[in-house]
Structure 1
Amino acid sequence: MFLFLVVALAVVVAAVTLAVVGGGESAPLPEAAPERLHDPLPADRPVSGADVEGLRFPLAPRGYRMADVDDALGRLAAELAERDARIADLESALAGARAAAAHVQHAPGRQGEEPEERR
């Protein structure tokens, strides 16, 4: 009786294995359509740090390691935010320098005078 149960169990395991692996004549599964980004990066303006922070890639069976991509996106977002802050600082410094230069050129009593040469 014990031998019969072992043989029956082996037959059931083999049948289940063949069904799972696809040993039958059934057609293969159709290819899954790849997922696409729902909110891609904006094409009408420069990418900001907030755009990168909100960007999420779709999952795929043989996709990417989410932690690695999220780390890269986090670093990119931080660098973009740092770059944008530096550009804003430089633009405000340039505007201040231009305003100061315009003020010096239009100061009373200095019109028509040549600037002194550096010594």
Structure 2
Amino acid sequence: MIWVFFTVIAVLLIGGFAALVTGRLGYDPMADATSTQSSPALSDGFASDEISAVRFDTALRGYRMDQVDAVLDRLQSRLAELEGPRAATEPESHRDTVR
């Protein structure tokens, strides 16, 4: 009699696994991204105190990569913008010692 119980459990487990593998049973470990803030992006001509105020939404494995990438891209373009005129006006010998 107990073997009937184990047989039913085994059939249910195999059927559930087959439904999961074939996509008939919906399971998504990564839920759709949600945001608690409008955008962590920095404004044009931002100041240093704005950088310390940036906050990111958390995700399954840390922070939302799209938000972090957007802020890093903005920081990179701002640094290039600030370094552009400076690099052009500095003497060659001074640039080598600074780096």
TM-score, L = length of structure 1: 0.33
Larger strand proportion of the pair: 2
- Structure having the higher Rg: 1
TM-score, L = length of structure 2: 0.38
